[in-house]
Every structure is written in structure tokens, then in C-alpha cells.
Amino acid sequence: MTDVKVPVLGESITEATLGEWLKKPGDAVKADEPIASLETDKVSVEVPSPVAGVMGEQFFKVGDTVEVGAVIAVVGEGGAAAAPSPSPAPAAAPAPAPAPAPATDAAALSPSVRRAVLETGVDPSTVQGTGRDGRLTKDDVVAAAAAKPAAAAPAAAPAPAPAPAASGRKEERVRMTRLRQTVAKRLKEAQNTAAMLTTFNDVDMTEVIAARTKYKDLFEKKHGVRLGFMGFFVKAAVQALRDIPSVNASIDGDEIVYHDYADISVAVSAPQGLVVPVIRDAQDLSVAGIEKTIGDFGKRAKDGTLKMDEMKGGTFTISNGGVFGSLMSTPIINPPQSAVLGLHRIEDRPVVRDGQVVVRPMMYLALSYDHRLIDGREAVTFLVALKNAIEDPTRLLIDL
């Protein structure tokens, strides 16, 4: 038997939550094939089998806390377990045939789909995948789960007994994921530690929208990625951070740490909650480079394949609540950073231009900052610099 141990999970991370067993005792496993998934403070991590063989005893249940280095299961080094299938092939071929299919399908599911399957109880073998090559997506599982009550309704209707119970109020208790616990803890720490203040401004998106409309097809053809608004905002933020370095700084004890680089954290929605990967050295990237990085983060966040190192550090955060329809918010700082920019939805509003009331696509900007380090004048100056760059994107090209 070979021990399966919890791998090193990253700097300062000593434990995780067992999120899911991907193999059952008795299942055949290949070397390096994932047999379990762990939830850490930031991402899901798959635990591979160290050898090929048969899944043995599992020492922890889903939801248990496991420490780095702990033995969570054993694998029997039984190469013969996979070999018997060729010898009894003539007689045994019909029986094993159905069994491997679901096992193979389950192993091929992405972490986000496996999590959705675990949470909804949907049998993935009964769902038709709409992804590439017929692969299941999270939306497929959610849709199948939503359809289940409808299918069960006719069978439940004839039964008179459950009727009284249906009128009662119900509650469900669900254990908080480790990610949600960590987010709650860190956000509360930020409120308790920083002297947080939020300053607002609005920005006319007319010119950026026009530029995006004019060049989006050429941009996608050349760079292989869609041209969004985040590329403009990250680029504008980098310039504003250079002019107002305190917004890009942090407090360490009784010292202020100034950074001559801009590592921009971007909030991305993932199945297990909000994650914040970091665009490293954003000051050296073009708009195309920024968009490619963000697109890659978004895809891998949905698949649950973001790496721990990709979410460490960061000197400034941009959170786009506008994609969910938010009109205005007061974002919370991501410690140890000292500021976070909140973007919101774009909507047509009447504004005055040259003495005339006209309709323009406007967006509210919100900068939450640590008042211990950043003065109100600096916060306002930062937002005005950002606003000017977005309202006149040429500034981004000629570095104004």
C-alpha cells in the first residue's frame, strides 16, 4: 500500500478542507490521476495518486479538515488490477463495458462541474453535455438540477400525505466553504484595521465605447481575444497609480511600503466564490496583454484550475460589479493593499455638455481607501486622472 498525503498547498497554508473524493475504494487509478479535491483559502487543489493501482481505504470524510502532510488514503500498487480485463475479455467484456464509461466521464469532469454535481446530486451520466466535444459544463448540471423538481412533481402530486408538510417552513444549514470563511474573515479584518473611506466620481464612457466598437473585430482577429473595458481601466489605473504612488502603497507596521510596479488584482467570479488573481507587472503590458491575462483568469476560475501563486500579492484591486448590474457600491479593501477601485454598470443618463442637456453612457466609479495612508486629495486626484484617461483614451497612448 502507498500513502496518499496532502501536498504542500502554498506559503503559510497549513490545512485544507476535503471537498470531494473523486475515486471510491476499489476503483482502479492511474499514476498522477486525481483522486480527491481539497478546498484551501483561495482555490481548489486536486490530490493525485502517487502510483497506479487500486483505491484503498479513505481516512477522512468530505468536509473534514486535513493538514499538510496528513495521510488521507492508501492506494494498493496492483498493476494486475488493470491487467485482468484483457484475459477474461471474451466473457467479461459485456459486464465491464458500462462501468468504465461513467468512471471515465467522472474523471474527465472539471473541478467546477464536479462541485456542481456534488452539490446538486445530479447523475452526470444522465446529462447531455453542451461543451466542446460534448463535455459537461456547470450550466448543464445546474439546468438538470432545476429540471428535477419538475419531473418529480407529477409523481409527488398523487401522494396526499406530504401535503400538510409542504405548508410548513423549512430551513437548510450548509457548512461554509473554506473560501467563504476566509473571505469573511479577511473582509472583517479590513474593516477593523483600516480607516476606510470611499470617494465617488462618474465617467463618460462615450469615447471608450466608440473605440471598442470601431476596433473590436480587428483586435480579436489580431490578438485572439475580445476587446473589453477592463483593458482600458487597468491601463488607466496603472498611469494614475504612477502619479499617485500612495494609492499603490501599503502599511507594514509603522512603515509605508511603496511599489515601483503595479500588480493589479482583478476580482473574478468562480463557482466557489469570488477569487482575486493578480496581473503581474501590469505597467509593462499592452491592452492586448491585459485582456489576454484577464480572459485566461476568467476561464480557469470557472474550471477551478487557478494556481495559488496567481492569487498572492497584488498592490491594487479592481472589482467590476457592473457585470452583475450594480449601480453603485463601496468596495472593501483587500489587505494589505490600501485601495480598491469599484466599477459599475454603464447606463444612459442626462448630463450637461456645452450648456446642453444630452444623454451619455455613464458609469459610477468608487475608490475605497485606507485613510491612514491616503489623503482625500490624493484619492480624488487619482479618480480624476482615471476619469480623464477613460474619457479621452488617446491619453493612454501618449502617456498623459
17 alpha carbon, distance to own chain's centre = 18
pLDDT at 117 over 80: no
Q: Does residue 194 sit in the same domain as residue 70?
A: no
Report the Cα 298 to chain-centroid distance in Å.
7
What's the gap between Cα 32 and its chain centre? 25
Q: What is the DSSP letter of 292?
A: H
In a domain, 12, yes or no: yes
Q: Where are the beta strands (DSSP E) in 205-267?
A: 250-252, 255-257, 264-266
pLDDT digits (tens, 9 = 90+) for 237-283: 999 999 999 999 999 988 999 999 999 999 887 766 678 899 999 99
DSSP symbol at 399: T
User: Average of pLDDT values for 168-172?
Assistant: 84
Closest of 342, 384, 320, 376 to residue 195, by C-alpha: 376
Q: Lowest mean pLDDT: which of 59-68, 225-234, 271-280, 289-298?
A: 271-280
Q: Give the highest mean pLDDT range of 11-20, 74-83, 342-351.
A: 342-351
In a domain, 159, yes or no: no
Give the model confidence (pLDDT) of 344-387 as tens digits. 999 999 999 999 999 999 999 999 999 999 999 999 999 999 99
What are the cell numbers at 221?
482577429
What DSSP line would sit under 39-58, residue for residue?
Answer: E-SS-EEEEEPSSSEEEEEE
Q: Is residue 227 part of a domain?
A: yes
Tell me the pLDDT band of 338, cut-offs 50, 70 and 90: very high
Tell me which residues are annotated as active site.
371, 375
Q: Cα(218)–Cα(222) distance, rounded to whole angstroms?
A: 6
State the pLDDT at residue 76: 86
Residue 379 lies in a domain: yes
The SS3 of residue 389 is helix
Does residue 96 lie within any of the structural domains? Answer: no
The CB-side HSE value for 359 (13 A sphere, CA atoms) comes to 3
Average pLDDT (120-140) is: 74
Q: Among 35, 51, 83, give the residue marking a domain's end.
A: 83
Question: What CATH number did the domain enclosing 32 receive?
Answer: 2.40.50.100
214 and 70 within one domain: no
Question: Three cell numbers at 33?
Answer: 490521476
Work out the number of other CB atoms within 10 angstroms of the CB of residue 67: 12
Residue 394 belongs to some domain of the structure: yes
One domain for residues 76 and 211: no
Are residues 73 and 189 both part of a single domain?
Answer: no
Most confident of 84-98, 187-201, 284-298: 284-298
Residue 167 per-residue DSSP state: T
Instruction: Give the amino acid at 288.
Output: A
Total structural domains within the chain:
2
- Give the pLDDT of residue 176: 74
Domain hosting 252: range is: 180-398
Taking alpha carbons only, the member of 47, 50, 49, 41 closest to residue 16 is 41
Judge whether 164 lies within some domain: no
* Residue 75 included in any domain: yes
Average pLDDT over residues 78-90: 44
pLDDT at 24 over 80: yes
pLDDT, residue 219, reads 93
pLDDT for the residue 112: 61
Cell numbers for 12, please give them: 503559510
| The domain boundary residue, chosen from 54, 83, 112 | 83
CATH assignment at residue 203: 3.30.559.10
The pLDDT value given to residue 292 = 94
Question: Which of 48, 83, 118 corresponds to the end of one domain?
Answer: 83
